[in-house]
Chain A
Amino acid sequence: MSVLARRDRALTPDETEALLRDRLGDGIVGATLAHRTFTLHVAPSAWVEVHRRCRDEDLLDMDLFDSLFGVDAGDDGFDVVTVLYSTSTGNRLCLRTRCEGGREAPVCPSVTDVYRGADWMERETWDMYGIEFPGHPGLEPRILTVENFEGWPLRKDFHLTSRVVKPWPGVKEPAELDEDGNVIEREAGVGDAPGPYALDEAMAKQALERRRAAEEALAAAAGNAAAVEVGDGPAADAPTSEPEGDA
């Protein structure tokens, strides 16, 4: 079975939008095509219907349910996005809706009747954002977090406690760089490790000194064997440079 069977008949984004607008009317709020991703904005009332159309409409044939997830939309509440894919035409379509109920009680109709795969995805979205999905067979218990977990971790107003109480000690943190990416100078605190470059430099210096000492020792040995008049000058230097190298 070839996946590219109907690739030549795949609809363009404009045609897809026109088709769904024809079927659903005001259900389609808008469309964006940016960064090679085509997204249709759908009204919550048409949310289930648009999925059914996408699946059953012969020209679209979106049979592979890719994913469903939430996005925090700031003060406007929450968005729910689904990604559908057609294995016969090779088209992909993203559908996006704004949940009703604002930030307090976000609600989005469930598409579990259309796609089986939405089951866990909606449970996950509820777990992460607290978005209710009427029509879902059972969102509880929490799918990923601990059952007695409090809060909705992916909401922007959920703060990571570890970050609040213990700032990261390094300077590699985005928070420690200013707008242009320059490191904000900061006084070294207790327990700060030397940076990788300081360590590299120290090691390179040691290696260089060790090599120089070895070379001098070699030269001294060669000098002793070949000519007596070179004397013990270099040989005397060699041991003094060694402890420095190790220090």
Chain B
Amino acid sequence: MSDLDTRERVLQGTAPGEGLAIELIGDGDLVTADMSLSIGPAHPATHGVFRIVFEMDGERIVRARPVIGYMHRGFEKLAEHRDYRQIMALVNRHDWLSGFANELGVALAVEQMLEMEVPERAQWIRMLMAEWNRVLNHLMFIGSYALELGAITPMFYAFREREDIQHLLEAATGGRLHFTYNQVGGVKIDLPAGFLRESERLVGVMRQRMPDYFDLVHGNEIFRGRTVNVGPLPVDVATSIGVTGPALQATGLAEDARVTEPYLQYDKVEVEVPVGANGDAFDRFDVLLRRIVASIDVIDQIHGHIGAGPVNQKLPKMVKAPEGWTYVRTENPLGQLGYWLESDGGRTPWRLKMRTPSFSNVQAIPYLVEGQLLADAISILGSVFFVVGDIDR
């Protein structure tokens, strides 16, 4: 019996064994059935414990349903059981790539409730740290996004720079990822001697190395092929969902809390807000790269502003926010981070809501991937930069 015979018998449904029979529909075209494909929660392409279920028609995604919560640690509940000092050590862990920026929001919220004036030097130090933190965060995504698209090298480049910057921040804060350097009323301790000199040197180093990144990733033909016109996001959809940060700026809207609602001393420096054209994966990545350059420019300006003075203030033994609520938003590396701090006058917050950028940004993923090919889904997932802890909290 030849193979052909077997095949025909299988196709006609006469071969022995149930389940082998295939019914042909139509006039011979390849017919596919809908299938459900679950990626994650621990899949290399989703960097983090993020799960997404695709309903596929062949290679094309019909429907996508992100499943989140695998990293839900209950921050908002835990914050209600910790006082305002302890919250600092808690909140810097939800978006683990931007620890400093997370603390900053809480510190600002409590200060806003107390109507506390923060010493100017402390504000500049906070800005300096926040911008270095932004560079750290973006470097990580440059490495990981390229890794998802199949290029290992940018990761090693990115970590070379990250180690240098972490080394610098560690000198002042003692932490590599979670700095816990903010406190209500300023920062924990003053900068160590030689910090600013080293920071200035790093600015030079970064400026020298940035062209490498642009060449390595930006000018890469394969990279362009996989990202240009993949997953475009229109600006009205983005705002309706609440997408912020690089993903929103890539759509062409120059929305950045540092410019539109300046906090700290951001109104005294020039902040360039890079924007994209059509909000595709390439634009999002491009904006991310250019945000690093912009941040380095800001850092360079901050160096000229840091003056002498105290870096924090004497606090009462127990900080208690007055009754009421406030909403503070800051420009986190991944988008706008909002803290809704509601107090009943006690020593712990009554409610601390974290409006995290990743949670809103990830909501755009179903919109972006539906109708796209599965291979493109990976480059889209990676281009909506998110940290899983920031989604789930």
From B255, B327, B351, contact of A92 by CB (8 A): B327
User: Do B340 and A69 touch across chains, with their CB atoms under 8 A apart?
Assistant: yes
Contact string against A for B residues 318-359, beta-carbon threshold 8 Å, 1 for contact and 0 otherwise: 100000111101000000101010100001101101010001
User: Do B255 and A87 touch across chains, with their CB atoms under 8 A apart?
Assistant: yes
From A36, A90, A154, A180, contact of B76 by CB (8 A): A154
User: Do A116 and B260 touch across chains, with their CB atoms under 8 A apart?
Assistant: no
A220 to B392, CA, bound (A): 65
Known: A144-B392, A174-B348, A181-B317. A36 touches B326 (CB 8 A): yes
Contact string against B for A residues 117-147, beta-carbon threshold 8 Å, 1 for contact and 0 otherwise: 1011000100010000000000000111110
Main secondary structure of the interface of A (DSSP, over half): loop
In the complex, what's the smallest C-beta–C-beta distance from B169 to chain A, in angstroms? 23
A181 to B83, CA, bound (A): 11
B113 on interface, CB distance cutoff 8 Å:
yes
B278 on interface, CB distance cutoff 8 Å:
no
User: Do B325 and A39 touch across chains, with their CB atoms under 8 A apart?
Assistant: yes
Q: Which of B21-29, B134-142, B232-240 contacts A (4 or more CB under 8 A)?
A: B232-240
B81 on interface, CB distance cutoff 8 Å:
yes
Note all chain B residues with C-beta closer than 8 A to A14: none
Note all chain A residues with C-beta closer than 8 A to B76: 128, 154
B90 on interface, CB distance cutoff 8 Å:
no
User: Do A144 and B72 touch across chains, with their CB atoms under 8 A apart?
Assistant: yes
In the complex, what's the smallest C-beta–C-beta distance from B248 to chain A, in angstroms? 8
A3 to B242, CA, bound (A): 16
User: Do B317 and A180 touch across chains, with their CB atoms under 8 A apart?
Assistant: yes
User: Do B239 and A64 touch across chains, with their CB atoms under 8 A apart?
Assistant: yes
B316 on interface, CB distance cutoff 8 Å:
yes
From A65, A72, A83, A172, contact of B86 by CB (8 A): A172
From B236, B253, B254, B327, contact of A37 by CB (8 A): B327
User: How many cross-chain pairs have Cβ atoms below 8 Å apart between A and B?
Assistant: 130
B241 on interface, CB distance cutoff 8 Å:
yes
Residue of B nearest to A72 (CB): B351
Note all chain A residues with C-beta closer than 8 A to B367: 116
Interface residues of B in 278-329 (CB under 8 A from A): 316-318, 324-327, 329
Interface residues of B in 260-282 (CB under 8 A from A): 260-261, 275
B360 on interface, CB distance cutoff 8 Å:
yes
User: Do B327 and A94 touch across chains, with their CB atoms under 8 A apart?
Assistant: yes
B74 on interface, CB distance cutoff 8 Å:
yes
B188 on interface, CB distance cutoff 8 Å:
no
A228 to B181, CA, bound (A): 56
User: Do B112 and A63 touch across chains, with their CB atoms under 8 A apart?
Assistant: no
In the complex, what's the smallest C-beta–C-beta distance from B371 to chain A, in angstroms? 17
Note all chain A residues with C-beta closer than 8 A to B360: 65, 67, 117
From A3, A34, A119, A145, contact of B253 by CB (8 A): A3
Known: A3-B253, A69-B353. A116 touches B237 (CB 8 A): yes
Question: Which of B77, B82, B254, B325 counts the most chain A CB atoms within 10 A?
Answer: B325
B41 on interface, CB distance cutoff 8 Å:
no
User: Do B392 and A64 touch across chains, with their CB atoms under 8 A apart?
Assistant: no
Interface residues of A in 51-90 (CB under 8 A from B): 63-67, 69, 71-72, 81, 83, 87, 90
A153 on interface, CB distance cutoff 8 Å:
yes
Question: Which of A3, A35, A128 counts the most chain B CB atoms within 10 A?
Answer: A35
In the complex, what's the smallest C-beta–C-beta distance from B314 to chain A, in angstroms? 13
Contact string against B for A residues 7-40, beta-carbon threshold 8 Å, 1 for contact and 0 otherwise: 0000000000000000000000000001111010
User: Do A35 and B112 touch across chains, with their CB atoms under 8 A apart?
Assistant: yes
User: Do A63 and B240 touch across chains, with their CB atoms under 8 A apart?
Assistant: yes
From A34, A83, A90, A154, contact of B355 by CB (8 A): A83
User: Do A117 and B69 touch across chains, with their CB atoms under 8 A apart?
Assistant: no
Residue of B nearest to A177 (CB): B318
Contact string against B for A residues 168-186, beta-carbon threshold 8 Å, 1 for contact and 0 otherwise: 0000101001001110000
Note all chain B residues with C-beta closer than 8 A to A90: 260-261
User: Do A71 and B342 touch across chains, with their CB atoms under 8 A apart?
Assistant: yes
Known: A163-B81, A174-B83, A180-B317. A36 touches B112 (CB 8 A): yes
**9 additional A-B residue pairs with CB within 8 Å, beyond A83-B338, A90-B261:** A35-B325, A36-B326, A63-B239, A66-B329, A67-B360, A71-B342, A115-B242, A160-B78, A174-B83
The 3 closest A-B pairs by CB, nearest first: A181-B317, A181-B318, A117-B242
A-B contact pairs, 28 of them (CB 8 A): A3-B255, A3-B256, A4-B260, A35-B113, A35-B325, A37-B326, A63-B240, A64-B244, A65-B239, A65-B241, A65-B242, A66-B336, A67-B340, A71-B351, A83-B327, A83-B355, A87-B260, A90-B260, A92-B261, A92-B327, A94-B327, A142-B69, A143-B68, A145-B69, A174-B86, A174-B347, A177-B347, A181-B318
Binding site for B on A (CB under 8 A): 1-4, 34-37, 39, 63-67, 69, 71-72, 81, 83, 87, 90, 92, 94, 115-117, 119-120, 124, 128, 142-146, 153-154, 158, 160, 163, 172, 174, 177, 180-182
